[in-house]
Amino acid sequence: MKKQTKYLIGIGALIIILVAAVFVYNSQKTTSFKKVVTDKINVNEISTIYITQRSSGVEVTQDEIKIEDREEINKIMTEFDKLDLKNAHDRKIKFDPYTYTIRIYVNKEARFGIDIYNTMNISLYDSSKTKNRLREYSTNNAEIISKLENYFK
């Protein structure tokens, strides 16, 4: 009887440890744009945001706009702050007809780069890091893409 009780306690402890490990692992796989970017900078110190639109068809075109208006910068950052990000390791990315590169300058120095490939894939570049500067994420960014498209109409 004592041996059986010890086995049950051991199995119960093992199950609790496994559940906790899965929970911790899954919580680390998801994050938000706010945690990855906005919390690391003072949004009021953003001096410029460059948005580049590239076509990915046969005839490649590229247009770029420069945003320095404080109100417009705040609107853009507010939209990006809504994004929930999930770590992605899929190297087979489908490109939409247009891809977007956003560069965020803080106090006139390049700080973050954002590449939007399609409605589900985004990569973030943090120039302040010495390791793992580039991270790939999956997210639903269809709403942001439609707002970015408006800048080029």
Under the banding of pLDDT at 50, 70 and 90, the label for residue 10 is confident
What digits encode the pLDDT tens for the residues 19-71? 877 766 665 578 899 998 999 999 999 999 999 999 877 778 889 999 999 99
pLDDT value of residue 24: 66
Closest C-alpha among 93, 119, 106 to residue 50: 106
Distance CA 115, CA 80 (A): 12
Domain ranges of the chain: 31-150
**Residue 128 near residue 40 (C-beta atoms within 8 A):** yes
What digits encode the pLDDT tens for the residues 101-153? 999 999 989 999 999 988 888 999 998 887 778 888 888 888 888 899 998 88
Average pLDDT, the chain: 86
pLDDT value of residue 76: 94
pLDDT value of residue 78: 94
